[in-house]
Amino acid sequence: MDSGLLPDANGMEPSPGGQREDRGKWQKPRISRKSLMKCCLIKWIIDTTPRESKSSDSELELSTVRHQPEGLEQLQAQTQFTRKELQSLYRGFKNECPSGLVDEETFKTIYSQFFPQGDATTYAHFLFNAFDMERNGSIRFEDFVIGLSVLLRGSETEKLRWAFNLYDINKDGCITKEEMLAIMTSIYDMMGRYTSPSVRDDDPSEHVDKFFQKMDRNRDGVVTIDEFIETCQKDEDIMASIKLFENVI
């Protein structure tokens, strides 16, 4: 997998050869600002930003919204985004979601546009639930940018914790093989079946069987967050494959 799609806060290009150097030592992923635009959610937001927007919106204030976000300085402290980036993201978010909240149908629309060759409905549902921290069917701007900050500029452990939350569909603190298969299948449904060379229907199950066996160290039928993080960090193949979803954020 192209791990070069994962940026750091400095906006630097990835080092040659991927993320690992010095015989296995983990190197922090780096990316350019241009590559940042490959993120579907970022591109969706930036593309909808009105060109005529002025600085009056810069403090993230609106008078007629269902939800008013936290102050700019607070969000800057909570994320790895700059003040200018937050302003740009908010203008796009406000333009696309005037209520100050984004719903699941919007996520489905976004991913159906970026992946028209497949069925993105299920993946968009799972991804929305991972962003919906309050489990109320809508995502605030704060949750949106905090999640994006972790995915795009977080540490290795932060990204893995976010990934675990995605795979833990029922949010009970552990991942079952069925949950992992559901996520992987949704990704294949969205993009895998129409790739070249084509992906076989049994590939998601093959991957899950292999990875789950490595992760479930005590053979109790579930993977805990500690098992998940420890296994991913020690196995380069799993780390590469488990991050597949980061290329379709």
What count of other Cβ atoms lies within 10 Å of the Cβ of residue 207? Answer: 19
Choose the final residue of a domain: 133, 154, 175. Answer: 154
More confident site: 44 or 139: 139
The pLDDT tens digits of the residues spanning 84-126 come to: 999 989 988 888 888 889 999 999 998 898 888 889 999 999 9
Contacts (Cβ under 8 Å, ≥6 apart) of 147: 130, 131, 162
| CATH of residue 181 | 1.10.238.10
- DSSP-assigned states of every residue in 10-60: T-PPPPTTSSEETTTEE------HHHHTTSHHHHHHHHTS-TT--GGGTT-
The pLDDT tens digits of the residues spanning 169-208 come to: 999 999 999 999 999 899 888 876 555 555 566 678 888 9
3-state DSSP call for residue 223? Answer: strand
Please indicate, yes or no, whether residues 167 and 244 belong to a single structural domain of this protein. Answer: yes
Please provide residue 101's backbone torsions phi and psi, each rounded to the nearest 5 degrees: -135, 145
Q: Determine the pLDDT at residue 65.
A: 43
Average pLDDT, the chain: 76
The pLDDT tens digits of the residues spanning 30-66 come to: 333 444 445 787 777 766 555 544 444 445 443 334 4
Please indicate, yes or no, whether residues 205 and 142 belong to a single structural domain of this protein. Answer: no
> Is pLDDT above 80 for 242?
no
- Domain hosting 210: range is 156-248
Choose the final residue of a domain: 154, 178, 213. Answer: 154
3-state DSSP call for residue 24? Answer: coil
19 band by pLDDT with thresholds 50, 70 and 90: very low
Number of continuous H segments (helices) and E segments (strands) in the chain: 12, 6
Please indicate, yes or no, whether residues 191 and 242 belong to a single structural domain of this protein. Answer: yes
Residue 24 lies in a domain: no
Please provide residue 105's backbone torsions phi and psi, each rounded to the nearest 5 degrees: -60, -35
Choose the final residue of a domain: 154, 189, 205. Answer: 154
Please indicate, yes or no, whether residues 165 and 132 belong to a single structural domain of this protein. Answer: no
The DSSP secondary-structure symbol of 101 reads: E
